[in-house]
Chain A
């Protein structure tokens, strides 16, 4: 009964380091999303993938790249981390419309 699985749960990076956040879903959903959540800012969309093979920018894509590796997996990469990218990152998936299923989040700190 996994749903949406994100790894890692916590990460500390130094400015300039790179890393990839992994996300996998086992619900056979077409669409997957990456959000970041900062205090007082709600959930802001970074990138999304409406279906396997496609990706699109969201509200705050700068400094990030994504890969929709297959239908199950959608990764988020920070090429050169900055303190402004300190945040909690959520991956989500959905079927054709509406309800999002979220992972438990990755808490990232960039020093």
Chain B
């Protein structure tokens, strides 16, 4: 059974801190790993990672994938209160057809002023 595990499940930091969120996976026929941010409503797409060792970056957020050790990290530097959200990791497989993503349980990040 495909599995995606995120840690920690929740995290409280102060503005300006740097945080690292973890995502490990055990799936057959890995294709890509995706990160989403969920504030009050719908999850919104952050990154898609397919190759090991290549960092994806968007402003203060960055992510990298290690396909040998089967994990990814999402880094947020100089956190702001607007970064408070649930961060979801999902893995896409190529088992058959358009196989749905497998999601982890998410990390709830709270950034306090």
Residues on A lying within 8 angstroms of B by beta carbon are 4, 30-31, 33, 35, 40-45, 48, 50-51, 58, 90, 94, 96-105
Contact = CB atoms under 8 A, between A and B. Distances in A.
Residue in B34, B90, B98 with the greatest tally of chain A CB atoms within 10 Å: B98
Q: Is the interface of B mostly helix, strand, loop or mixed?
A: strand
B106 to A, nearest CB: 5
Given A94-B98, A102-B42, 12 more contacts: A31-B98, A35-B103, A40-B9, A43-B106, A45-B100, A97-B32, A97-B92, A99-B45, A100-B43, A101-B45, A102-B44, A105-B42
Contacts of A90: 42-43
A104 B42 contact: yes
B4 to A, nearest CB: 8
B108 to A, nearest CB: 9
Contacts of B100: 33, 45, 48, 58
Contacts of B41: 104-105
Interface of B: 6, 9, 31-32, 34, 36, 41-45, 48, 88, 90, 92, 97-98, 100-101, 103-106
A94 B34 CA distance: 13
A42 B7 CA distance: 12
